Amino acid sequence: MTRALHWITNLFPVWVVLCCLVAMVQPAWFTWFKGNWIIWALAVIMLGMGVTLSFDDFRQVLTMPRAVAVGFVAQYTIMPFLGWSIARGLQLETPFAVGLILVACCPGGTASNVVTYLARAHVALSVLMTMCSTFGAVVMTPLLTKWLAGTYVPVDGWKLFLDTVTVVLAPLIVGLTLHHAAPRMVKAILPIAPLVSVIAIVMICASIIGANAGIIRQSAAILFLAVALLHLGGFALGWVFAWAFGYGENVRRTVSIEVGMQNSGLGAYLAGKNFPSMPNAPTPCAISAVFHSVIGSILAGIWRLFPTKPEREPGGPH
């Protein structure tokens, strides 16, 4: 049973693509999933991540601080400025530009851990990077969004901060607390937690795609180009960034995946919540989930053909 759940969970990119394609044709199948449903779905995703964490994970960061720091800096420099540059360069309409910048300012997505595993890269480091960028999002996402998206529209940084705390920090802390306070319960739900998170992110993205199916068909070329450039650039520059700091192929691939894959569900929620006058703002975020899943899966498939040797010092350079 556990192996079957693991296999279904690892097909995350397939479910995202399939459901988003169906949402384009049959929007009503998914558009009911909105409002509080999305809020609770995000809370479930973050809670699911939280219950997998322990205080030992935070201590483990101290065993490879340099690698985690490199990933963190790459996450919050490469993607935000890529998002802003692409929006400017392609002269995106304001709602699309804001949505693209916002998702670019989000932390790494939890699906990156699955893709890292499939790519035979450094899974432990991937989990640590996702954890740190997610906690860092409480400050970094509102700050960077206000700075970069603020060149298009006024951004209420304080509201963005409070919304991020609500759907990111609070569920993570509850999950972390449960991990230690109710270990038996956590042990029982751990096998299904990743699959529940996959279902939640698929529903969030498909509902947004369905709600904006018309505008996506009208602006598909420019939207797809912008999102594709964002993620292709993220994967490529993440790899180069780790290479520049002297890391081996194992860590390079891990940083590449972490930088290239965003928490698109969080971006979609924050875009809808903070820019209600621009209903199309969440659209690039939902499309982002499809593109980074497909690109990440293709890369993982290629990299699996060329296994790397474990580095002698997982967190340090050669």
Name the DSSP letter for residue 120: T
Domains of the chain: 15-304 (1.20.1530.20)
Q: Give the count of beta carbons closer than 10 Å to the beta carbon of residue 175.
A: 20
* CB proximity list for 79: less than 8 A, separation 6 or greater: 104, 105, 230, 234, 259, 262
pLDDT at position 311 over 60: no
Alpha helices, DSSP H only, in 155-212?
A: 157-164, 170-181, 183-189, 193-211
The CA distance from 226 to 311, in Å, is 35
pLDDT digits (tens, 9 = 90+) for 212-249: 788 888 888 899 999 999 999 999 999 999 999 988 88
**Tens-digit pLDDT profile for residues 251-296:** 899 999 999 988 888 888 888 888 888 888 888 988 888 888 888 8
Residue-wise pLDDT for 127-149, tens only, equals: 888 888 888 888 999 999 999 98
Span 7-26, mean pLDDT? 81
Q: Which residues, including other chains, have CB under 8 Å from residue 247's CB and lie 6 or more apart?
A: 67, 70, 255, 311, 317, 318
Report the C-alpha gap between 221 and 217 in whole angstroms. Answer: 9
Residue type at 206 in one-letter notation:
A
pLDDT of residue 310: 60
226 and 86 in contact (C-beta within 8 Å)? Answer: yes
> What value does the CA radius of gyration of the chain take, rounded to a whole number of Å?
18
